[in-house]
Structure 1
Amino acid sequence: MDLERGPWKKDYYWVSHYQFLTETQTGLRLPEKVTFHDSTLRDGEQAPGVVFSPQDKIEIAKLLDAAGIQYIEAGFPMVSKADREAIEKIVELGLKARITCLCRARAEDIEMAAAIGVWGAILEVPVSQVRLKYQFGWEEDEVIEKFMAAAGMAREKGLVPYLFMIDSTRADLNFLEKLITKAVKEGVERVSIVDTAGCTTPRGMFYLAGKVREWVDVDLEVHCHNDFGLGVANSLAAVEAGVGTVAATLNGLGQRAGNAALEEVAWSLEALYGIPTGIDFPKLYEVAIKVQELSGWSFPPNKAVVGRNIFTWEAGLPVAALRRNPHTVEPFQPEIFGRKHEIELGKKCGKANIEWKLEELGLEVTDNAVIEELVERVKEEAIKLKRALTDEEFSRLYREVVKG
């Protein structure tokens, strides 16, 4: 096998080849393409303390559309007048993305969605025993009746109805089959498998999604929460079982531990599975950062895919390798997201860091002894300051060393 030629290696990334082997592909039902249903404006805003103004929502929606997101869940119109107005204004933008909103299986919710003019109505119904018994007090047949009535009304009003099954991963399998097959038989063409409590494993999700795919041949969607840190992994497992749409939020923003992070799922599908998503990744990075700013939440600098520091290097040995070939120390490069490497000058830096920074700042040094002295001076200063040096501080050191 030529490890330098294959779907695992492109200009700006080089990932493992093992997931592309025939042996590891056996049993998978990978779709030819995966689309995305962004829920940042609804499920993301349910994170405690997060409030997006109508103008914030409009700005985020525009950026999502520019990034190639195919479906945008613009909110839950029954929550407030501000939500209704924001959703209506997003609809009026005429975006390429199809606009949806959350609805309970109630006439007033559906009428509101139709009045606002969204494309799809996400009709949520509980399906797990714990929800039915202890939260809603509904019987299984009652769920089916309520959903079918709501779906029929939604279609009559020109809306595309989703079967959005709250807590799917804790539901009885026989009940799920009865509900889903009846819904599809009556014309429902979109079904969402929802891990509301974020409590399954990738194998569990693969099994459940595979069963649903066996029962019906309609557009399937997966919507995962992240309580065990498996939101992305479970979303990918559903895709492995044949699910063609992933509902997620940017940065994984959401209540409790949040949702599957859309940018992580999208980039994993492109790079690790070779599945096209239609996403413009520099623009997706732009909107992810905008959501971080508007949410007011802080995110770890080492967050996967869009973290502030994931292309920032300080240790000397990897920086030296990075200068020779970035594939040696990174699975993917910053150019994919319209970013660039950042090299810090701190306690752990080496000659390669100094050389990189000199080139970046347009400072000339031809004497190796000067570079060696700069390395030592930078380390001494970094230890005193307990941080990396700024460009201004390094430039000052450079002038001191060069002038002798």
Structure 2
Amino acid sequence: MIRANPHYQKLNTDYLFSEIAQRIQAFQARRPDTALIHLGLGDVTGPLPAACIRALHAAVDELSCRDGFRGYGPEQGYGFLREAIAQHDFRVRGAPICADEIFISEGTKVDIGNIQALFATDLRVAIPDPVYPVYVDTNVMAGRTGPATGGRYSGLSYLPCTAANGFVPEIPDTPVDLIYLCSPNNPTGVALRREQLQAWVDHARAHQALILFDAAYEAFIRDSSLPHSIYEIPGAREVAIEFRSYSKTAGFTGVRCAYTVVPKDCIVRHLDGTPASAHALWRRRHQTRSNGVSYFAQRAAQALYTPEGRRQARALCDQYLANARTLRTGFQQLGLPCTGGEHSPYVWIDTGQDAWAFFDLLLDQAGIVCTPGSGFGRCGQRHIRLSAFNSAENTAEALERIAQVLA
């Protein structure tokens, strides 16, 4: 008899976004003529920057001839991309990261799940609430939790993020081993300030904890005082692993390219207490389970670090930020409290009612798709998340429809 992983039975039957897709499908079956406006899923809608398109074409042309053809690339990623990342994403900000500490992958979501393989199953894990569901679900799958009760899994330390604390997770009273942080946050859109990150780094150093830092939306930060990387914080190299993606910042959701930074100073412990290099462990896993990201995807990512590519990617993010400001302002005028929409493509809205009920209200009466906040955790109840990844015209029309429903 082949037995399934028993921890999968603890999970909710459907992933949040699968449930949304099912409700949309049912709605369209009832009302096929309604033109939906999607402000739910965090998928981009703008085309790739022109610099990336040219790089993709050039790379494909290289692969079409014997002299330029490449087969398997280095598992960790091509040096041309890793060096560009180290220089432009880190060293220019004073973050001491080397190219060989960078691992290219097909997506941040994948790496956040795969990083679990490095750690024992009995670790104490701290997770913000609300939170990107992958943080929770992958720990459940790995066996670090008990069953869910009242919307929360036993064995996890939840860090409530509410209006009362500015949606910023607070350092727990009891020691933990793994700490998940996301800045700018998905779903609330809040970006952590330098002193807030410093407090987390100091805490991790004092308690031999490890921070898993999701910076997938850092390119949307427009306040120069806010850190883009945790490695801008003194001491972070010893206690943090950082994840980044080109999906939302350059439209790579279909191209697939991201990276994870594991500094050589980052130390975990073997069962006998002896030190182990997290970098060496991740490299060993990469060597065993990855054949690398496609050559043309990495060339396209490299193009983002040219002056032209940087301008084009920033312009793309600026368009989405303009939509986010429109949504935030519109909902504030409707009298609903909001966060996000400033350094993030997401707007987090307190609806004052059940999140799924509000989702159904917007879908049925306005033809608008949002994301119910309860899918991100107990503290997301009464909230929805709106995504700015759409056109300015659709964003404006969506607000008009919503205003008519809520008037």
TM-score of the pair, normalised by structure 2: 0.30
Mark the structure with the bigger radius of gyration: 1
